[in-house]
Amino acid sequence: MDFVGNSLDLSLHYLTAISAKQKLTSANIANAQTPGYTAREMSFAEVLKTENPFETDLSQRMGSKLSEMNNNSGLPVDLQKELVEMQKNLLFYSMTTRRAASVFNSLKNATQVGR
């Protein structure tokens, strides 16, 4: 059961980071034409390395070149870059929800053994 709890906690942590990144990207796109607004960025690597060694390893593999978490880049908003970031975010979301679904399917199968 510890594995299940850890997997679901990890999925929740990832979904929280994905949500924060999506909100930030949406704000950048919404303010693209606002005078003086500079693009804000966050790094999944910075968010993920706060929990445990597994996440630190994962964050290193994902790369930490995106900038510090939720900082102004000082550059104007590049809509193409923001749309690419949204697509990456969608992929992370898809992987995370599939992982959580796999845990739930394993639980479902375990409860049906012996029936």
pTM of the entire predicted model: 0.71
Higher pLDDT, 20 or 53: 20
Give me the helix-helix angle, 53-62 and 2-30, nearest 10°: 40
Q: Please, which residues bridge with residue 41 across strands?
A: 71
Q: Is residue 36 part of a domain?
A: yes
Give me the number of domains the chain comprises. 1
User: Which class for 47: exposed (0-12), middle (13-18), buried (19 or more C-beta within 10 A)?
Assistant: buried
CB 9 within 8 A of CB 48: no
CB 41 within 8 A of CB 24: yes
pLDDT, tens digit (0-9, with 9 covering 90-100), for 86-112? 999 999 999 999 999 998 998 888 888
User: What pLDDT was estimated at residue 65?
Assistant: 39
Domain containing residue 8:
2-110
Q: Is residue 12 part of a domain?
A: yes
Q: Is residue 115 part of a domain?
A: no
pLDDT, tens digit (0-9, with 9 covering 90-100), for 32-87? 999 999 999 887 776 666 555 455 555 555 554 333 455 777 889 999 999 999 99
Q: Is residue 15 part of a domain?
A: yes
